[in-house]
Structure 1
Amino acid sequence: MKTSLKTLVITSFILLTTITISAQEFYGKAYYFSKSTMDLGRWGARLSEAQKKQVMARMKNRLQKTYVLSFNKTESFFKEDEKLDAMSGATDSWGKNFTQGDLYKNVKDNALAQSQEFYGKKFLVKDELQKIEWQMGSETKKIGNYTCFKAAALIPSDELTWYNFSWDRLRSNEPQTDSTGVVKQPEIKMTQVVAWYTPQIPVSHGPSDYWGLPGLILEVSADNTTMLCSKIVLNPEEKVEIEAPDKGKEINKKDYQETVMLKMQEFRDSRGRRRRS
């Protein structure tokens, strides 16, 4: 009975807010900052505390970032706030090959368009939005002036970082056999995602690839990274214009991943040949 009552309260809250806003043109900007932790592993265990702090300071521009999400009822545009990020220190030329580019999402058409640059070549990745099976709960908390509800989902880890690269992913993509020589199916790793959304802003948008809840996502945590909204501007005097990126070689997510993997495999093999010569 208590669960049903809570569900009814949430539903009524969402309906009331949606009816209030649905009659008017609606757009805005949400500002996020992200914080990530990094496990230094066995290598880190050999470092002094002072050395660990130096490593973390050098990695700050990777571990702490700021973003802007522009949105209307059906579209959103998510990008890193490069001006603020530049304050964190020197640019990371290697890391920029594997960071998320400008991302356009259209929840009505179930479509995304993301600009990516890999070693100087521009790509325009077009695909469907990542499907997310959210489990919505009744737990609430306040983020700024907004009442937020909790939701959780399990998402394939590779889908959350499809634009990224790791040597572990390259190794896992190589055929593995068991003791009898039979090729083993690769393990699909899943990531637990926890989001907090507010029905007071009834759009199905969120930072990065997250979307699909009955309210703007103000906080989301996945693996070792948390994104938190620090500021929201609704219906500013200057209308928010949202345009999808349109430059670069058009490709889908799967083909983009294969392109990156192939290039990095060639890079690894060429280094191995130079070492043997």
Structure 2
Amino acid sequence: MKQITILILILSFFVKVQKVNNVTITYTIKQKTIDLTKIKEKAKTSATAQELIWLYEDANDVEATLKFTENESIYNVIKKLKNDAEKKVNLTYHYAGSKNTYYSDKKELIRTSSVTGEMLRIVERKNEWVLTKETKKIGQFKCYKAIRKNSKSSYNVIAWYAPELPFPFGPREFNGLPGIILELEFKNYIFFANKVDLNDLEFVPIEKPSEGEKITYEDWKKRTKNFFYD
């Protein structure tokens, strides 16, 4: 009887996973509350510090989508029509991924970028995660905490992933966990999954980026001198 019960549980889980296909997750990306006291003090004598305050204060929430199948995913920030009068830089938009496309399959993760003036396809580095036993509920999913430690920076990336959605995808270049990332803390920004459509009827087939020269992350880093990225 015990073996039959286990078999039923396994089959039930298998069927549940099989039904999850052509998924679209919508994230809201928000800037954390930032203490600007020290920067404001510097702004009294520094124009650069004053500009930094303006950037933080002018930041607005943005949305992005992660679309995935069993084998591949694609992530993009949702483009919104801008008023010609509004030409301010939105830091949240930048850290959400800006106009880049992030494509992932079981072999590699590719980010498109035109920051150098030409379209490039950058093969991102693999993430190294430390899995913890800490959990919390996000929507209907039980999520586990994982930490990506960065030895070259003063910050860590914190991800909350859902094993019930056993696919190694997430926002931006953050992937490689045993479940979809539903919440992410990256520098001064938080990515929240506010909508999970497990069977998106309007799902458009994913296309792997093919435009532009394909280079390694290390080569891209040399070309851009690590501008805005870790």
- What's the TM-score, normalizing by structure 2? 0.73
Q: Whose Rg is larger?
A: 1
Where do 1:11-26 residues align within 5 Å? 19-24=14-19, 26=21
Contact 2:29 2:63 (8 Å CA) reproduced: yes
1:250 to 201, 214, 222: 214
2:66 counterpart residue number: 69
Letter in 2 for 1:33: T
Q: d(CA) in 2 for partners of 1:199 and 1:97? A: 29
1:78 counterpart residue number: 75
1:32 counterpart residue number: 27
Please identify runs of 4+ aligned residues in structure 1 that moved more than 6 A: 14-17, 93-98
CA 1:230–1:97 in structure 2 vs 1: closer, same or farther (change >3 Å)? closer
* Long gaps (5+) in structure 2: 1-8, 45-49
1:116 counterpart residue number: 113
CA 1:131–1:81 in structure 2 vs 1: closer, same or farther (change >3 Å)? same
Q: Which has the higher helix share?
A: 1
Contact 1:134 1:153 (8 Å CA) reproduced: yes
Contact 1:146 1:200 (8 Å CA) reproduced: yes
CA 1:47–1:262 in structure 2 vs 1: closer, same or farther (change >3 Å)? closer
Identity among equivalent pairs (%): 27
* 2:165 equivalent to 1:153: no
- What's the TM-score, normalizing by structure 1? 0.62
1:56 Cα shift? 5.9
1:226 counterpart residue number: 190
Letter in 1 for 2:179: G
2:4 counterpart residue number: none
Q: d(CA) in 1 for partners of 2:137 and 2:226? A: 46
In the alignment of these two chains, the number of paired residues is: 208
1:46 Cα shift? 6.4
Q: d(CA) in 2 for partners of 1:43 and 1:23? A: 51
1:32 Cα shift? 0.6
Q: d(CA) in 1 for partners of 2:157 and 2:221? A: 22
Q: d(CA) in 2 for partners of 1:102 and 1:39? A: 31
1:113 Cα shift? 2.1
Is the partner of 2:225 in helix, strand or coil?
A: helix
1:228 Cα shift? 0.9
Contact 1:17 1:200 (8 Å CA) reproduced: no
Residue range with higher mean Cα deviation, 193-202 or 31-40: 31-40
Q: d(CA) in 1 for partners of 2:174 and 2:226? A: 28
Q: Please provide the CA RMSD for this pair.
A: 3.5
Letter in 1 for 2:125: Q
* Long gaps (5+) in structure 1: 1-13, 157-187, 264-277
